[in-house]
Amino acid sequence: MAKGALSMLVTLRRETPRYPDLTLGQRYTVIGIEADDFRLLNDRGTPYLYPHQLFDVVDPHEPEDWITEVGEDGERYAYPPPLNTCGFFEDFFDMKPEAVATFWQVVNQRLATARVSASSST
């Protein structure tokens, strides 16, 4: 992965019964930002979109290759290029093979890079 493949990391601020698929104290890698909210892999391995207010940002570094856009109301959207297409996550959740394969390829590469970066900085 490229030198700029840093990962934005967040932790849950407090446990909430509304989101039982998140663990207090667990660091989550942000996969993308949609209308200011964070898409991340939850404890079930699902790339779910969560309100950004649920989290504290541990590491604010976003990957340099993210495509960032700002909506009409000033809300941010940011994803890596392969995930930044209209309807991508609808196709993913509809289990369309190309979207599923693309998603896991991108996420696995980024998580591997995040682990390598974290272990080399210790």
- How far apart are alpha carbons 49 and 35 in whole angstroms? 10
Q: Which of 57, 81, 71, 56 is nearest to 5 (CA)?
A: 81
Length of the chain counted residue by residue: 122
**β-sheet bridge partners, residue 34:** 37, 77
Place of tokens 């989550």: 28
Which has more pLDDT, 6 or 81? 81
Q: What is the pTM of this model?
A: 0.85
Stretch 22-48: mean pLDDT:
95
Q: What is the pLDDT of residue 1?
A: 36
What pLDDT band is residue 110 in, cutting at 50, 70 and 90? Answer: confident
Q: Which of 99, 107, 89, 85 is nearest to 30 (CA)?
A: 107
**50 Cβ contact list (under 8 Å, min separation 6):** 19, 22, 37, 38, 39, 40, 42
Tokens at 87, concatenated: 């309807």
Please report, for the chain, the start and end positions of each structural domain, with discontinuous segments joined by +.
Answer: 9-120
- For residue range 61-103, what is the model confidence (pLDDT) as tens digits? 998 899 999 999 999 999 999 999 999 999 999 999 999 999 9
Q: What is the pLDDT of residue 3?
A: 40
- How far apart are alpha carbons 17 and 67 in whole angstroms? 33
